[in-house]
A and B are shown apart, each in its own frame.
Chain A
């Protein structure tokens, strides 16, 4: 089915966890291999980033809602937050571990679903350029657009230049490969899959 997409996703997930488990010198090895290591950016920063990139100003977008009822039990703070106490300007709970990585997966699954629903139903809250790129993907396999190019535009709308060009090309290659997401999924499901794979990428989620 969408095995390659799942594999890509788990490579991203596991690199987040590897970053948390290794020593500093190992981090350096990972970094020199072109991987991002470090802490999560935090819930508020990620929310602002997504809103700023693909939503129209003043649109409602709340990542914590995807944690369900637990969002009122302090769970969002486990995704990286400033506690606001004087003398403490460091992001708390931002070092990747099994629990917060799983929570990010839950949040991004919900967010990607919501974004895909809006994108394929012509939602008014989405930024125009992203809406157009997403709409082309929603309409696949109809449409005569250059798929690799549309995927690059979709990636750049969400990721901007946070990741190296090679990362974008690798992602496009994965998604368009035989048996990849583009070949196995359609419409809303495909947009959700593509969105989630970008949102869970270490270059999107981790501080430089």
Chain B
């Protein structure tokens, strides 16, 4: 085996043209000395880039040995499995990672993969060099559909010999059932009876939904013919009381007629579907206009499962949903820090406590984007009441009071105090809006979401818990930030994704077998390690050292200098103003923590950086690092 590897290496040396030698030439020279190192890297790269790969066998590895690392990454990224890796990452990014994408190697993707529309759509766009940033969309311009199934054989029916015959049978039955239902609605004024029939038919006897189930449509199209959640609510499926809304009959009729018209489109639709989905590139894209029942479908990013999981109780005022957005798209885990927050949101004692404001100043305005979304995410904006997931119904003054939680103060130029809040003091830094479309436009435009995307991609490729130099992450994130500029072409985001992935796989962190979690291996071009702890060096340099540097730094704290102190521990140069002596490590770090989050125990301390804004995630990262150092984690 080793002889084969050596032969491959000799071949590589003579056969590889000079033009192929890339920036990783230095590491290639090292690989020539240590073929195992390159085989190990290739094995790891295969597992990272090719979804479901178990790594490379010796013969597979030997075949690739003549190629440069750059060429190997390109080769892997042109494999259809790479787009499944992207799909898996997208689900990871959205906090929805699944154990497996498919039920079995030969089956279609799991329904959970489709239900979170943006993850699948972004992977498909990537495979087609389209707009990867649909990952940040609230509404999708199309429906994504998997492979169709085979039709069921009608019970007792033995004369059908082809799938076509079976499908024709089920379509005819569905039409018959819907015609009867439409006639029933038109001839009755008993709303209670109609609702009872609407809600019960599925349990007691076959109806059009069952017939469509038997047809073999993919799940995503089948659900377009399922009973509408809104009509089920109006008919009282929750709470058992039929609403007094006069429009119920008309709503039921409109829905039934829409389905009836939609049935006519099914055969052509079915024939146009890709029957075998081998990768996200093969997904079926359906324009909503081609299916009458899809016309009114919102195609929103959140699935029903998502809405159920991020439930809105009558007391949490959508904060669970707001926290999800902050954590997922901005990497803000809402570390509680004591920073001044003068604005009070939401009628809720907890939120108005000064200590709690530390999170709520940004959480409540974020939650406000979801104010109209009640139980399972239903939009109650046009309805005279609001139903929470805990089934508390608000109407009249109660509803007005609930919505007033997010009303902007009098004299404000905006109607709602709803937005992505970066600063509690400087409103001009914040991105305000009203609707979920506004929120997701902010996410698409905000640089913070691109940095977050890069961090998550690094976690996915290099391992959770690995620390990175912040300047390097910023350097990589620039690819995404540039691709989000108004002048960028839609395909630029796909190029950026591939470029960042490639940089990560070619990084020193990736190439190092079992990298030490607390050590940074990669740095931005033209930048050297500063000597400060690498996890926070960039944050400190960006926010602190313009003042806290060198002799005579304010409060004796020189944050540009990390040294071994007298007792052998490491710490910043920090001279106590009273004694003129270097502070002990613990005392120094405690004072730094107080500057970042001045609690009552700190006494009269100013929030740092003084009179300057600091990114909330950077502040939290630095604060958590200080706390970890204080608890002995870094020593």
The residue from A24, A31, A57 contacting B105, defined by CB atoms under 8 A apart: A57
Which of A31, A48, A161 counts the most chain B CB atoms within 10 A?
Answer: A161
Contacts of B43 in A (CB 8 A): 160-162
* B504-519 Cβ-contact flags toward A at 8 Å (1 or 0): 0000000001111111
Knowing A82-B97, A88-B95, A89-B96, the reply to whether A164 touches B635 (Cβ < 8 A) is no
Are B633 and A25 in contact, CB atoms less than 8 angstroms apart?
Answer: yes
Residue of A nearest to B632 (CB): A23
Are B310 and A87 in contact, CB atoms less than 8 angstroms apart?
Answer: yes
Residue of A nearest to B459 (CB): A89
Of A108-116, A134-142, A150-158, which binds chain B?
Answer: A150-158
Q: How far is the CA of A38 from the CA of B518 in the complex (A)?
A: 13
Are B57 and A160 in contact, CB atoms less than 8 angstroms apart?
Answer: yes
Beta-carbon contacts under 8 Å, A30-70 to B? 31-32, 34-38, 42, 44, 48-53, 57-58
Beta-carbon contacts under 8 Å, B87-119 to A? 91-100, 105-106, 112
B262 within 8 A of A: no
Contacts of A27 in B (CB 8 A): 516-517
Of B47-55, B357-365, B399-407, B493-501, which binds chain A?
Answer: B47-55
B202 within 8 A of A: no
Knowing A82-B99, A208-B463, the reply to whether A52 touches B56 (Cβ < 8 A) is no
Contacts of A81 in B (CB 8 A): 99
Are B106 and A87 in contact, CB atoms less than 8 angstroms apart?
Answer: no
Are A165 and B112 in contact, CB atoms less than 8 angstroms apart?
Answer: no
Q: How far is the CA of A89 from the CA of B92 in the complex (A)?
A: 5
Are B310 and A161 in contact, CB atoms less than 8 angstroms apart?
Answer: no
Q: How far is the CA of A86 from the CA of B305 in the complex (A)?
A: 8
Residue of B nearest to A45 (CB): B99
Knowing A82-B99, A86-B324, A87-B309, the reply to whether A51 touches B54 (Cβ < 8 A) is yes
Are B52 and A48 in contact, CB atoms less than 8 angstroms apart?
Answer: yes
Q: How far is the CA of A24 from the CA of B42 in the complex (A)?
A: 28
Shortest CB-to-CB span from A37 to chain B, Å, is 8
Are B514 and A161 in contact, CB atoms less than 8 angstroms apart?
Answer: no
B328 within 8 A of A: yes
Contacts of B634 in A (CB 8 A): 24-25
Contacts of A42 in B (CB 8 A): 99
Q: What is the size category of the interface that chain A forms with chain B? A: 35 or more
B61 within 8 A of A: yes
Contacts of A129 in B (CB 8 A): 57, 59
B40 within 8 A of A: yes
The residue from A152, A161, A207 contacting B39, defined by CB atoms under 8 A apart: A161
Shortest CB-to-CB span from B85 to chain A, Å, is 13
Are B112 and A84 in contact, CB atoms less than 8 angstroms apart?
Answer: yes
Are A52 and B514 in contact, CB atoms less than 8 angstroms apart?
Answer: no
Knowing A52-B53, A82-B98, the reply to whether A24 touches B518 (Cβ < 8 A) is yes
Knowing A24-B633, A25-B633, A165-B36, the reply to whether A86 touches B306 (Cβ < 8 A) is yes
Contacts of A58 in B (CB 8 A): 105-106
Q: How far is the CA of A89 from the CA of B96 in the complex (A)?
A: 6
A-B pairs with beta carbons under 8 A, tally:
116
Contacts of B465 in A (CB 8 A): 38
Are A49 and B514 in contact, CB atoms less than 8 angstroms apart?
Answer: no
Are B633 and A207 in contact, CB atoms less than 8 angstroms apart?
Answer: no
A71 within 8 A of B: no
Total B residues in contact with A, Cβ cutoff 8 Å? 50
Are A152 and B1 in contact, CB atoms less than 8 angstroms apart?
Answer: yes
Contacts of A160 in B (CB 8 A): 43, 54-57
Shortest CB-to-CB span from A91 to chain B, Å, is 8
Residue of A nearest to B309 (CB): A86
Are A28 and B54 in contact, CB atoms less than 8 angstroms apart?
Answer: no
Q: How far is the CA of A84 from the CA of B634 in the complex (A)?
A: 33
Contacts of A38 in B (CB 8 A): 463, 465
* B180-215 Cβ-contact flags toward A at 8 Å (1 or 0): 000000000000000000000000000000000000
Are B96 and A86 in contact, CB atoms less than 8 angstroms apart?
Answer: yes
A90 within 8 A of B: yes
Are A24 and B54 in contact, CB atoms less than 8 angstroms apart?
Answer: no
Are B95 and A28 in contact, CB atoms less than 8 angstroms apart?
Answer: no
Are A24 and B517 in contact, CB atoms less than 8 angstroms apart?
Answer: yes
Residue of A nearest to B628 (CB): A24
* B321-350 Cβ-contact flags toward A at 8 Å (1 or 0): 000100110000000000000000000000
B58 within 8 A of A: yes
Knowing A49-B54, A156-B58, A160-B43, the reply to whether A28 touches B518 (Cβ < 8 A) is yes
Knowing A31-B514, A208-B463, the reply to whether A87 touches B327 (Cβ < 8 A) is yes
Are B96 and A52 in contact, CB atoms less than 8 angstroms apart?
Answer: no
Contacts of A24 in B (CB 8 A): 517-518, 633-634
Contacts of B97 in A (CB 8 A): 82, 89
Residue of A nearest to B307 (CB): A86
Q: How far is the CA of A25 from the CA of B632 in the complex (A)?
A: 9
Shortest CB-to-CB span from A4 to chain B, Å, is 25
Shortest CB-to-CB span from A155 to chain B, Å, is 10
Shortest CB-to-CB span from A94 to chain B, Å, is 10
Shortest CB-to-CB span from B98 to chain A, Å, is 6
Shortest CB-to-CB span from A64 to chain B, Å, is 12
Are B54 and A53 in contact, CB atoms less than 8 angstroms apart?
Answer: yes
B26 within 8 A of A: no
Knowing A28-B516, A87-B309, A161-B36, the reply to whether A52 touches B95 (Cβ < 8 A) is no
Shortest CB-to-CB span from A167 to chain B, Å, is 10
Q: How far is the CA of A164 from the CA of B39 in the complex (A)?
A: 10
B566 within 8 A of A: no
Q: How far is the CA of A149 from the CA of B623 in the complex (A)?
A: 53
Contacts of B324 in A (CB 8 A): 86-87
Shortest CB-to-CB span from A53 to chain B, Å, is 5
Which of A23, A52, A152, A160 counts the most chain B CB atoms within 10 A?
Answer: A160
Contacts of B463 in A (CB 8 A): 38, 207-208
Are A23 and B633 in contact, CB atoms less than 8 angstroms apart?
Answer: yes
Contacts of B105 in A (CB 8 A): 57-58
Shortest CB-to-CB span from B86 to chain A, Å, is 15
Are B40 and A161 in contact, CB atoms less than 8 angstroms apart?
Answer: yes
Residue of B nearest to A164 (CB): B513
Contacts of B58 in A (CB 8 A): 153, 156
B289 within 8 A of A: no
* B155-175 Cβ-contact flags toward A at 8 Å (1 or 0): 000000000000000000000
Shortest CB-to-CB span from A50 to chain B, Å, is 8
B29 within 8 A of A: no
Contacts of B515 in A (CB 8 A): 31, 208
Beyond A23-B633, A53-B54, A89-B97, 19 additional contacts (C-beta under 8 Å) are A27-B516, A31-B517, A37-B514, A38-B465, A48-B54, A51-B54, A58-B105, A82-B97, A85-B309, A86-B95, A86-B305, A86-B309, A87-B324, A87-B327, A153-B58, A160-B56, A164-B513, A208-B44, A208-B513
Q: Offer 10 A-B interface pairs, CB within 8 angstroms, sorted by A.
A: A24-B633, A82-B99, A86-B95, A86-B305, A87-B309, A89-B92, A152-B1, A156-B57, A161-B40, A208-B44
Closest 5 CB pairs of A and B: A52-B54, A161-B43, A160-B55, A89-B97, A44-B99
A residues engaging B (CB < 8 A)?
23-25, 27-28, 31-32, 34-38, 42, 44, 48-53, 57-58, 81-82, 84-90, 129, 149, 152-153, 156-157, 160-162, 164-165, 207-208
